Amino acid sequence: MELMALLSKRDDDVTLSVKSLLKKYTVYPLKTLEELRELYSNIPLNLLIIDTVSHRLSSIARFLETLDDGMVVLITTEKPDQFMTDNLPASVFECIEYKSLQSELPLTVDRALERYRYKSELKLMNQSRDSSGSMQRQAHSRADSEMLAGRCDPLPSGRYVQEKVLVNFARMLTVNFDMRKLLEHFMDSVMEIARVSKMSVMIRDKEGFSVKTHCGLDPYIADNLLLRQDSALTEWLTKTGRIMNKPVNYVDSRTVKIRNEMDILQCAVSFPMIYKGKLIGIFNIDNKITEEPFYREELEIIYVFCNYLAAAVKDIDLYHQMWYQKEFNKNMLSSMNSGMIAIDKDERITIFNQYASEILSLDASDMISRDLRALPSPLGDILYETMVTEKSYRRHEVSINPTKLPLGINSYRLLDEHGNPIGAGIIFSDLSDSRKLEKQNRRAEKLKAVNDLMAKIAHEVRNPLTSIQTYAQLLNEKLADDDLNQFYVNTVQQSIHRLDSLIDKLVTFSSTQDYNLSSENINDILSDASELIMKNLPDTHKFSNTPIEKSFYVNADKKQLAKAIYYLILNIVDRTPDGTFISVTSEADYSEDSSIGITITYGGDESIREGKKALLKPLLDINHLGKELNVPISDKIIEGHEGSLEIKNEGDINIFIIKIPIFDRRNSPILTEEEK
Mean pLDDT of 523-548: 89
pLDDT confidence tier of residue 328, bands split at 50, 70 and 90:
low
pLDDT, residue 270, reads 95
| Residue 500: predicted pLDDT | 67
Checking if the pLDDT of 139 tops 60, the result is no
Mean pLDDT of 526-545: 89
**Per-residue pLDDT, 151:** 40
d(CA 497, CA 492): 9
Contact 451, 444 (CB under 8 A): no
Mean pLDDT over 29-40 rounds to 85
The more confidently predicted of residues 71 and 663 is 71
Backbone phi, psi, residue 53, to 5°: -75, -45
What pLDDT score was predicted for residue 138? 47
For residue 251, pLDDT beyond 70 = no
3-state secondary structure 254-315: HHHHHHHHHHHHCCCEEEEEEECCEEEEEEEECCECCCCCCCHHHHHHHHHHHHHHHHHHHH
Question: Do 59 and 15 contact (CB within 8 A), yes or no?
Answer: no
CA distance 600 to 602: 7
Higher pLDDT, 70 or 128: 70
Whether the CB-CB separation of 273 and 283 falls below 8 Å is answered with yes
Compute the average pLDDT of residues 343-368: 86
Helix, strand, or coil here: 667? coil
Q: Which of the four pLDDT bands, split at 50, 70 and 90, describes residue 513? A: low
Under 8 Å between Cβ of 399 and 417: no
How do strand 72-76 and strand 47-51 relate by DSSP bridges?
Answer: parallel
Cα–Cα distance for residue pair 233/206, rounded to 1 Å: 18
Name residue 493's amino acid. Answer: Q
Inform me whether the pLDDT recorded for 152 exceeds 70.
no
- What pLDDT shows up at residue 408? 87
- The C-alpha atoms of residue 146 and residue 525 are separated, in whole angstroms, by 112
Q: What is the three-state SS of 117-147?
A: HHHHHHHHHHHHHHHHHCHHHHHHHHHHHHH
Amino acid identity of 91? S
C-alpha–C-alpha distance, residues 85 and 631, integer Å: 95
The mean of the pLDDT values for the chain is 78
User: Looking only at Cα atoms, what is the longest distance across the chain?
Assistant: 156
* pLDDT at 311 exceeding the cut of 50: yes
- Does the structure show a pLDDT above 50 at 421? yes
Going by C-alpha positions, the residue among 258, 347, 340, 272 that lies closest to residue 305 is 272
Judge if pTM exceeds 0.75. no
What region, left, alpha or beta, does residue 420 occupy, with left being phi > 0 and alpha being psi -120 to 50 degrees? Answer: beta
How many whole angstroms from its chain centre is CA 326? 21
The answer, yes or no, to whether residue 32 has pLDDT greater than 60, is yes
Residue 676 has pLDDT above 50, yes or no: no
237 band by pLDDT with thresholds 50, 70 and 90: very high
- What is the share, in percent, of the chain residues with pLDDT greater than 70? 73
Higher pLDDT, 131 or 246: 246
Give per-residue pLDDT as tens, 181-214: 888 888 888 888 888 989 999 999 888 899 999 9
pLDDT over 90 (residue 271): yes
Q: pLDDT (tens digit, 9 = 90+) per residue, 474-486? A: 666 665 556 656 6
Q: How far apart are the C-alpha atoms of 554 and 661, rounded to whole Å?
A: 6
The answer to whether residue 499 scores a pLDDT higher than 80 is: no
Taking CA atoms, 329 is separated from 19, 323, 353, 580, 651, in Å, by 39, 10, 11, 72, 63
Report pLDDT digits (tens) over 431-452.
877 778 877 777 777 666 566 6
Report, as an integer, the average pLDDT of 210-238: 88
Residues 576-600: pLDDT tens digits?
888 889 999 988 876 666 888 899 9
Q: What pLDDT does 283 receive?
A: 95
- Predicted pLDDT at 274: 92
SS3 582: strand
Integer Cα distance of 410 and 406 in angstroms: 14
Cis preceding linkage at 378, omega within 30: yes
Mean pLDDT, range 286-294, rounded to an integer: 88
- Band (pLDDT 50/70/90 cuts) for residue 464 is low
The residue-averaged pLDDT of 227-231 equals 88
Q: How many CB atoms lie within 10 A of CB 341?
A: 26
